[in-house]
Structure 1
Amino acid sequence: MRPCLGVGHLLLRWLRVCSRRARNRLPKCVRERWAYAQLLWRSLFYNSLTNCDVVSDSLLEPIFWMVDILTRWFGMVFVFLVVALTSSILIISYFCLLPLVLNTYPPFWIVWHICYGHWNLIMIIFHYYKATKTSPGYPPKMKPDIPFVSVCKKCIIPKPARTHHCGICNTCILKMDHHCPWLNNCVGHFNHRYFFSFCLFMTLGCMYCSISGRTLFINAYHAIESSYNTPPPPYTFKDKMFHKSIIYMWVLTSTVAVALGGLTLWHAMLISRGETSIERHINKKEAKRLAKHGKVYRNPFNYGRLNNWKIFFGVEKTSHWLTRVLLPSSHAPYGDGLTWDIYPHQKDIMPV
């Protein structure tokens, strides 16, 4: 049975029929000019790929443009915040925690805290500096002698596989993952490892401060709280600043550990699958499209979990897990970012 049509729908259909009949009664030359005018009008905005997503993206383009402009101009502010907040934690650690550790901890724990803390600090500083200063990689401006998958509509240059345009940097990026405002730089082929390592070691450092300073935080919190409920004890200004500094350090490091830890786990999952943040969305849509036709999508750049990590870190032999992963290293990533092996064999492509 046909569903009942609403009055508005019937009225709209009647108006369409009347307008069609009225056009048919016009002279042929008028109808041809009217059809030509309609064609010109539709050519300004219509194509066969137009859908709701294209229209919504067009309407939101001014907002995206403003976000790109603000992110570009405030990049140095975000970098300054990272440096300032990290420096504040270091000042508290050296002037408040280190004297306490040296006076109360046994020699074994003193050595462990000093060695681990400074190793973690060196890894954070090294990878953050390299992530901000290393170019993510750009495709050649002239037509390269390599296969390319498309042409960038904004740069008007050929785009190799895994290359995407960054609206903030206003250029194409090799194996682009995303634009990070905290680095004031794009994360691409040549600095992706530095970015992930910075996130990893910063998370470990924040977890270290949060766990090791938990008891001090509880004591400082109770001391501050008791000063408001009871007559203030004979605390000096130095004691008050010590307690407030401990509370500030614990809250900041705990918050960053949770937030940045979640981001690090997300990127670790992407690396295990051999894809970037952008490719994650593309592959998800492609998998849904092929699933409707009864097919299974396979990521052409997934070499297996272990191989993906070896390629990402540039591990070519067993000793590289120490010298290139657990110690600062400026080695170049695997490949040039322009050409990629697709659908590789299941064997270990980088044996160790």
Structure 2
Amino acid sequence: MRSRQRMYSAVMRFFLKCLRIGQRRRFWLTRHVQQLWLYGRLCMRSLVYNSFADGDTALDALFEPIYWLVDHVTRWFGVVFVALVITLTSSVVVIVYVCLLPLVLQTYPLLWVFWHFIYGHWNLVMIVFHYYMAITTQPGCPPQQSKSDVVAVSICRKCISPKPARTHHCSICNRCILKMDHHCPWLNNCVGHFNHRYFFSFMLFMTMGCIYSSVSGWDLFWEAYAAIEKMKLLDKERLHVAANQTYSQTPPPTFSFRQRAFHKSIVYAWVLCSSVALALGALMIWHSVLITRGETSIERHINRKEKRRLRLKGKVFRNPYNYGPLGNWKVFLGVETQRHWITRFLLPSTHPPYGTGLNWDTPPCVAEQKAPLLAI
């Protein structure tokens, strides 16, 4: 009897022990789910924890992996893009020298030959010079050690260092850039304070060169296109004759390899120059508008948000770096006198831009321009 009671007691104790373990596991699972819920709610609240955070902050956080992938791909493929620009430009130059220049010397009058020779080589020199300078010139970075004469408007969250005015952090170069406009993969370099002029001049002269090549080669393009269509018809006839050849039939005449290469090269050069003229010309016009307003590509978006915010408060936004249309171009190109427009804009020049990019005051050329207006 006692053995049965002991056995019953042992079974009951084991059952109660299993019940306690089950309750502990159930309570542990409930606590774990509750902790995950609190953590997720905290993460969601951290995206909008103050008045400066909005939907853009949440989107930036969500798209951070995509940004990381694009930054690394752009960083590693920058050399490929530069090699592609050099290859395409060199191919057009070779076609011009091998195919077009002999025709110009044989068929054009002496005055037109002189014009094409002078203008074509001047445009080519300006393109090569400004592209080389845009690639090799550093855009400029703020000093690592803080200086008393450098006025910082904020602290970079990634560099943990003071940021002067108009300075932004480039996630691809992983550093802060003075007067940053954007990171250009076709240059494999950032466009900033010290190479912005080279970048814009390259776009301007490349667009001018492509338009010049497209306009001057319009007639040759249509002749080459017609010749290529004729080649296709002759090839079809030759295949038809070869399939049903008799002793009385002779195959049609064929174009030589040199003639085929000549016509296809003309079409390739014209299509490439026209496409680049449209795409790069649109980008050049957009940057011209930004320069006229005294803005960069990044400042354009920042100023739009600031205008919208101040408009709701009944205030008017004023760009502190806008010196007027002519003054903005003088500051951007680094010209001060009329002679500088020729020596520093129409000819290759390595003169530095105005200022150091750390402080932005009213330039002397702009102050002299505004002085008569203030006197009146």
What's the offset of the Cα at 1:339? 0.2
Q: Is 1:42 equivalent to 2:42 in the alignment?
A: yes
Partner of 2:107: 104
What's the offset of the Cα at 1:85? 0.2
Partner of 1:272: 292
Structure 2: state its 5+ residue gaps. 1-33, 238-251
Instruction: Say which of 70, 80, 84 aligns to 2:83.
Output: 80
1:219 maps to amino acid: E
Instruction: Say which of 167, 170, 175 aligns to 1:166.
Output: 170
Please tell me the root mean square deviation across aligned C-alpha atoms, in Å.
Answer: 2.4
Q: Is 1:179 equivalent to 2:183 in the alignment?
A: yes
Whether contact under 8 Å (1:69, 1:168) holds in the other structure is yes
2:42 maps to amino acid: R
Partner of 1:333: 353
Q: Write the distance in 1 (CA, Å) between the matches of 2:190 and 2:213.
A: 29
| Structure 1 runs, 4 residues or longer, greater than 3 Å off | 37-41, 230-234, 342-347
Instruction: Say which of 328, 333, 339 aligns to 1:313.
Output: 333
What's the offset of the Cα at 1:52? 2.4
Distance 1:260 1:322, change over 3 A: same
- What pairs up with 1:211-230 in 2 under 5 angstroms? 211-230=215-234
Q: Which structure has the larger Rg over C-alpha atoms?
A: 2
2:57 maps to amino acid: V
What's the offset of the Cα at 1:290? 1.1
What's the offset of the Cα at 1:51? 3.0
Instruction: Say which of 117, 122, 129 aligns to 1:126.
Output: 129
Distance 1:150 1:77, change over 3 A: same
Which one is further off, 341-350 or 169-178? 341-350
TM-score by length of 1: 0.85
Distance 1:283 1:347, change over 3 A: farther
Number of equivalences: 317
TM-score by length of 2: 0.80
Instruction: Say which of 47, 57, 61 aligns to 1:58.
Output: 61
Q: Write the distance in 1 (CA, Å) between the matches of 2:43 and 2:278.
A: 51
Distance 1:209 1:60, change over 3 A: same
Partner of 1:27: none
Q: Is 1:93 equivalent to 2:114 in the alignment?
A: no
Structure 1: state its 5+ residue gaps. 1-33
What's the offset of the Cα at 1:41? 6.8
What's the offset of the Cα at 1:38? 5.7
What's the offset of the Cα at 1:43? 7.6
Distance 1:236 1:310, change over 3 A: same
Instruction: Say which of 330, 338, 348 aligns to 2:369.
Output: 348
Query: The residue matched to 1:176 in structure 2 has which SS?
Result: coil
Q: Write the distance in 2 (CA, Å) between the matches of 1:38 and 1:227.
A: 74
Q: Which has the higher helix share?
A: 2
Which one is further off, 290-299 or 156-165? 290-299
Give per-residue Cα distances to partners, 1:186-222, cap 9 Å, x unaligned.
0000000000000000000000111001100000101
Distance 1:155 1:45, change over 3 A: farther
Query: The residue matched to 1:71 in structure 2 has which SS?
Result: helix
Whether contact under 8 Å (1:166, 1:173) holds in the other structure is yes
2:200 maps to amino acid: F
Q: Is 1:137 equivalent to 2:140 in the alignment?
A: yes
Q: Write the distance in 2 (CA, Å) between the matches of 1:188 and 1:216.
A: 41
2:259 maps to amino acid: D
Partner of 2:268: 248
How many percent of aligned residue pairs carry the same amino acid?
Answer: 60
Q: Write the distance in 2 (CA, Å) between the matches of 1:168 and 1:136.
A: 14
Q: Write the distance in 2 (CA, Å) between the matches of 1:116 and 1:135.
A: 30
Give per-residue Cα distances to partners, 1:304-338, cap 9 Å, x unaligned.
00011111111111111000000000001000000
Distance 1:131 1:166, change over 3 A: same
